[in-house]
A and B are shown apart, each in its own frame.
Chain A
Amino acid sequence: MNNAGPAKAGHYVRSVPGAGYLLVILLGVFSIFGEGFATLPNILNIGVQSSVLLLLALPMTLIIMTEGLDLSMGAVLSLAGVVLATLLMNGHSLTAAIAAAAGVGLAFGIANGLFVVTLGLPPFVATLGTLGIAQGVALVLTGGQSVVGIGDALPALYESRPLGVPFSMAFAAVAFLAFGFVVRHTRLGSYVSALGGNREALVLAGVHANLVHIGTYAAGGLMAGLAALLLTGRISSGHPTAAIGLEFDAIAAVIVGGTSFERGDGTLGGTLIGVLTIGVLKNGLNVMSVSSSLQVASIGVLVIAALVIDRAVAALGRPVGSRA
């Protein structure tokens, strides 16, 4: 980096994702104006609400780093939830039901990977297709109805507090650490960012680039399957459209967290901040009794704003040291 001046300025601005500042501002605004926002139960509530989103946003970060996208996650999560609830309703063990949900998610993830990587289909249309398929299967399995009467095992697990932490937060924390370990301490992490930025070099270095690439989509499906555990636990039932649109929140969190669609750079820490920003925004608007529909709209605006800011900051100086 020989153009030291602008590079340095760019570095300092970029080293904290824009969402970091935004999160602080939102926390301040809601603490002042939102009655009951800055209370321990509510803060804990934000953590619990953000857990499912984090599970989707972690693999979404990797997928977006490869210049891809997975629009099917919400529908796959809904389908996995339906499968989980149906098996529990029919008296199968919790372990078997979780394995089946994870398996369904993984299968969709691998299918997405094969479509995008092996067949070379554009990710946003291929995963829009699998969105339709997953949603269709969930609707056909349930006839459009909720699956209730799932027994006590899953709700009990969901209500448990390992080490005093709500189960969903503990689960999300473990997932975050696992993804962080893989990205930071194994070669897979650098392979994934190379997929977006410099695929050719990866292939020349003898890495099975396609396998790593398919792996990112497989991870997305698997995490959507596992997220069904938390969602189904929370609502104590399975519903074929329970998580429709949640992939948008995940994409929003990743983009707000500073991962770029075009440069193959991004960090899981940034995504965590992005997830919390979305969580705080939704919760804060809720506390201030803004309708949930406008919360959706506000996230749409937030995404576009984040993209615009990303452009502006990128123009300020070449991105430096912003990768995990």
Chain B
Amino acid sequence: MKAVAYRLMAVALIAFGLALTTEAFFTLPNILNVLRQASLTFLIASGLTLTILTGGLDLSVGANVGLSACLAATVMKSSGSIALGAATGLAFGALVGIVNGLMVTALKLPPFIATYGMLWTLNGVTYWFMGGETIHGFSPGFRALGSGHWFGVPVPIYVMAAFLGAGGIFTRYTTLGHGVYAIGANREAARLSGIPVRARLNLVYTLSGAMAGLAAIVYLARLNSAEADIGEALTLPAIAAVLIGGTSLFGGVGSLTGTLVGALTLTLVVNGMNLWAVDANWQPLVTGVIVILAVWIDVATRQRAEARV
């Protein structure tokens, strides 16, 4: 918890700096915009956080968002039913998660390479499926999910809060959630203490896929259009958010709250660059530097902790 508090202070410092240097930052619309953007990043990164907590990884989340969004959009357009479209996106996202889980548990493939293969498979299928088309213009009722407000607060923030709450209870207060940490901390010990490791891993990868499916629907509602490249730039920021949030790539250490703080930090940096009128082309560079710094801190902290033991 102390770690999260330090990170929140960092967020406050960045926000303070932005408030001092730009006029537009400290306005209600901009703050709400930052929170909405961070909520979307959090939704994608939350399932990813669970996989990393088990000592694995899900590199396919961005591509999964892409194809799930395109499928949801297609079904929504052709059937005219919001519910059917949303269900399609969610179900497909979860299906990808199930396949990822089986590759990791049944076929025993290393998670990073299995989900990396999945990333490119999904990317290819998405481009083929869309064939260069753009699907846009959804009903106002659906779009409210992404761009609407409820008591003046953007709807995605409620979605984020609901899943942060549910995820927090899951990871902190349920046996299932404790199992996730135990597997990441020491897989063999977890197995010996009676945790069904494979079943838990299957669950975690399925959740990661389902969260990508959910994020896809909120994204779709926000953008009001679906294109093949919709998920392409999402992977690196999602991983960055998890790592900035203090979840260790080595498993067993981290939290969903941390990931939210990570998503907030990243969104503030991007927002600051926009407000300072920095060319958007700088964003992958900055995200890349942040990722390397965050992993470096993770590794160094771990080495220091090991030296102390």
Contact = CB atoms under 8 A, between A and B. Distances in A.
Contacts of B299: 119-121
B284 A135 contact: yes
Interface string A132-161: 111111011001100000000000000000
Contacts of A296: 120-121, 123-124, 127
Given A136-B281, A303-B117, A304-B103, A121 B292 contact: yes
Contacts of A129: 288-289, 291-292, 295
A128 B239 contact: yes
A137 B295 contact: no
Nearest to B63: A300
B107 interface: yes
B191 interface: no
Interface of chain B: mostly helix, strand, loop or mixed: helix
Nearest to B236: A132
B108 A311 contact: yes
Given A293-B127, A294-B128, A133 B289 contact: yes
A143 B296 contact: no
A308 B236 contact: no
Contacts of B292: 115, 121, 126, 129-130, 133
A243 interface: no
Nearest to A120: B299
Given A120-B303, A129-B295, A300 B285 contact: no
Interface string B117-144: 1111111111110010000000000000
Interface residues of A, number: 45
A30 interface: no
A25 B300 CA distance: 49
A21 B122 CA distance: 27
A107 interface: no
B287 interface: yes
B283 interface: yes
B120 A133 contact: no
A126 B118 contact: no
Interface string A248-268: 100100010000011000000
Contacts of A121: 292, 295-296, 299
A210 interface: no
Nearest to A301: B121
A301 B287 CA distance: 29
Contacts, number: 144
A45 interface: no
A295 B124 contact: yes
B13 interface: no
B17 interface: no
A132 B295 contact: no
Given A295-B124, A301-B121, A143 B107 contact: no
B116 interface: yes
A125 B291 contact: yes
A130 B119 CA distance: 19
Interface in B287-309: 287-289, 291-292, 295-296, 299-300, 303
Interface centre among A124, A262, A298, A301 (most CB of B within 10 A): A124
A298 B303 CA distance: 41
Contact of B117 (A132, A291, A300): A300
B72 interface: no
Interface in B74-112: 103, 107-110, 112
Contacts of B110: 261-262
A307 interface: yes
Contacts of B249: 122, 125
23 contacts: A69-B112, A121-B292, A124-B59, A129-B292, A132-B285, A132-B289, A133-B285, A136-B287, A140-B281, A245-B120, A255-B113, A262-B110, A291-B127, A293-B123, A293-B128, A293-B228, A294-B125, A296-B123, A297-B120, A297-B123, A297-B128, A300-B123, A301-B121
Interface of A: 69, 115, 119-122, 124-126, 128-137, 139-140, 143-144, 245, 248, 251, 255, 261-262, 291-301, 303-304, 307-308, 311
The 8 closest A-B pairs by CB, nearest first: A136-B285, A132-B288, A297-B124, A300-B121, A296-B124, A293-B127, A139-B281, A129-B292
